[in-house]
C-alpha cells in the first residue's frame, strides 16, 4: 500500500505539474488580471513566424501555425481542447483523461515519454511543462536535435499563473483569441464566486481539512496550491493553511484540527472515501464526521492547472456552503 501511495504522489507532483511553490492571497478575492492576457494581446494578429520565450528562458521560433502537436502533460492537453486546438493533437501521455476524445489519441508514454514514438508522429510542435522539463531534459534535447520545435510551458502554482500558461499555449498554436476567451471566462467565474462569498460572515467561515491521499500516509494541501487558493476565494479556512505545499500529517494531527468539513480528492482510485473517513477510529469527535460533512471531489478539477479549475472551485463552494452557492 505504501509503495502505491508513493507512486501516486510522485505522479501527482511530477507528471500533473502540481509542485506548489507560490503563495495565496489573504482575502477571498478573484485572481487578479495579470500579464497573461498581455501576452495574448501582443500576438493578437495570429501571424507566423513568431518567437516565444518559454519557461526555461529559451527563445523558440515557430515558423508556421502548428498542425501536428504532441502534448506531454494532461493540463496542456486539456487547454488545447479548450482553445479549439484539439484537432491538432496527435500525441499525449498515459495520464491524459480529459476530454474523452483523448482516448483516441496515440500515447507517447507516462512520466518519461518515448522519444522514438514522438518522432514517429512527425509533430511540428511539442509542448512540454516546466514541472518535468528537467527530468525529461535528455528527451527534449533529442527532439530539438531532430529538428522538432519544443516549447516548455510555465509550471503554474497559482491561478494567475494558469492564465499565463494558457496564453502561452494559445500563442504557440495560433489560438490567441481563443486563449483570451478562456482566460476571460475563468476570471468571470472566479469573480462570481468571490462576490457570492462576501455574504459569508466570520462566524460562518468553515474550517476545511483536505486529503489528497488516504491513510496510512495522509497528505494534505497547504499554501501555494490551487486548493488552498480556492478555499480562500470562497471564504473558507484551510485547516493546514499554515504549511507550504503538499504535506504529510498523522491521523492525530489531522483530528486535532477539528474541521467542520472534510474534502477528499482520491475517490477515483479509492472506493467510497467518505465512508472510509467516517469509519476511522478516533475521528468520531470531529465535527465534519459528526455532521456527515465529508465529501469527495475529483482531483483533476482542483489540482490540474487548466480551465476546469473554475468547475472545481464551484464544486467546493457548493459542498462547503450549500446555502450560499447551491442553486
The pLDDT score that the predictor gives to residue 112 is: 86
- 52 and 17 co-located in one domain: no
Element (H, E) at 153: strand 150-153
Going by C-alpha positions, the residue among 223, 225, 253 that lies closest to residue 241 is: 223
pLDDT reported for residue 216? 92
Residues paired with 238 in a beta bridge: 208
Among 190, 211, 246, give the residue marking a domain's end.
190
| 0.75 surpassed by pTM | yes
DSSP code at position 48: S
8 A C-beta contact, residue 284 and residue 295: no
Reduced to 3 states (helix: H, G, I; strand: E, B; else coil), residue 219 is: strand
The three cell numbers locating residue 101: 476524445
Q: Dihedral (C-alpha) 246, 251, 254, 255: value to the nearest 10 degrees?
A: 170
Number of domains in the chain: 2
Domain enclosing residue 145, as ranges: 35-190
Q: What is the distance between the alpha carbons of residues 129 and 13, in angstroms, rounded to a whole number?
A: 12
Which of 144, 162, 190 represents a domain boundary (last residue)?
190
262, 296: one domain: yes
Grid coordinates of 323: 446555502
Q: Are residues 125 and 221 part of one domain?
A: no
Per-residue cell: 138: 535528455
Phi, psi at residue 115, to the nearest 5°?
A: -60, -45
> According to the model, what pLDDT value does residue 27 have?
38
| Angstrom distance (rounded) from CA 119 to CA 295 | 43
Are residues 112 and 237 both part of a single domain? no
Q: Return the CATH number at 110.
A: 3.40.50.1980
Regarding whether 311 and 204 lie in a shared domain, the answer is yes
Supply 130's cell numbers: 516546466
- Do 167 and 306 have their domain in common? no
Asked whether residue 245 falls in the same domain as residue 184, the answer is: no
- Do both 226 and 294 map to the same domain? yes
294, 278 contact by CB (below 8 A): yes
Q: What is the pLDDT of residue 130?
A: 84
| Distance, CA of 113 to CA of 111 (rounded, Å) | 6
Same domain, residue pair 265 and 140: no
Within this chain, do residues 41 and 186 fall inside the same structural domain, yes or no?
yes
Encode pLDDT of 233-290 as tens digits.
999 999 999 999 999 999 999 999 999 999 999 999 999 999 999 999 999 999 999 9
* Rounded mean pLDDT for each run of 10 residues along the chain, 327 residues in total: 45 41 37 43 65 95 97 97 98 96 96 94 95 81 96 93 97 98 98 97 97 95 94 98 96 97 96 96 97 97 95 97 90
Residues 222 and 182 in one domain: no
Q: Which of 190, 221, 243 is the last residue of a domain?
A: 190
Same domain? For 248 and 263 the reply is: yes
Amino acid at each position: 500500500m505504501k509503495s502505491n501511495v508513493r507512486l501516486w504522489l510522485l505522479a501527482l507532483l511530477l507528471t500533473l505539474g502540481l509542485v506548489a511553490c507560490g503563495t495565496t492571497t489573504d482575502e477571498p478575492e478573484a485572481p487578479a488580471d495579470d500579464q497573461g492576457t498581455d501576452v495574448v494581446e501582443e500576438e493578437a494578429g495570429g501571424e507566423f513566424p513568431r518567437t516565444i520565450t518559454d519557461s526555461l528562458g529559451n527563445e523558440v521560433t515557430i515558423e508556421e501555425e502548428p498542425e501536428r502537436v504532441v502534448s506531454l502533460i494532461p493540463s496542456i492537453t486539456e487547454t488545447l481542447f479548450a482553445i479549439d486546438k484539439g484537432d491538432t493533437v496527435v500525441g499525449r501521455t498515459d495520464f491524459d483523461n480529459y476530454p474523452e476524445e483523448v482516448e483516441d489519441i496515440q500515447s507517447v508514454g507516462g512520466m518519461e515519454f518515448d522519444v522514438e514514438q514522438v518522432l514517429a508522429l512527425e509533430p511540428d510542435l511539442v509542448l512540454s511543462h516546466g514541472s518535468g522539463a528537467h527530468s525529461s531534459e535528455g528527451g527534449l534535447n533529442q527532439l530539438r536535435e531532430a529538428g522538432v520545435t519544443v516549447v516548455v510551458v510555465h509550471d503554474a502554482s497559482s491561478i494567475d499563473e494558469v492564465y499565463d500558461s494558457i496564453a502561452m499555449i494559445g500563442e504557440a498554436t495560433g489560438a490567441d483569441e481563443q486563449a483570451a476567451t478562456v482566460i476571460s471566462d475563468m476570471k468571470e467565474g472566479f469573480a462570481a464566486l468571490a462576490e457570492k462569498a462576501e455574504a459569508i460572515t466570520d462566524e460562518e467561515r468553515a474550517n476545511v481539512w483536505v486529503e489528497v491521499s488516504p491513510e496510512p500516509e495522509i497528505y494534505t494541501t497547504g499554501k501555494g496550491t490551487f486548493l488552498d487558493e480556492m478555499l480562500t476565494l470562497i471564504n473558507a479556512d484551510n485547516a493546514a493553511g499554515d504549511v507550504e505545499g503538499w504535506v504529510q500529517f498523522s491521523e492525530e494531527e489531522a483530528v486535532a484540527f477539528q474541521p467542520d468539513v472534510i474534502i477528499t480528492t482520491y475517490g477515483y482510485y479509492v472506493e467510497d472515501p467518505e465512508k472510509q473517513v467516517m469509519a476511522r477510529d478516533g475521528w468520531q469527535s470531529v465535527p465534519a464526521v459528526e455532521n456527515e460533512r465529508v465529501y469527495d471531489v475529483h482531483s483533476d478539477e482542483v489540482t490540474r492547472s487548466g480551465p476546469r479549475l473554475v468547475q472545481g472551485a464551484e464544486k467546493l463552494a457548493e459542498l462547503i456552503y450549500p446555502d450560499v452557492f447551491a442553486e
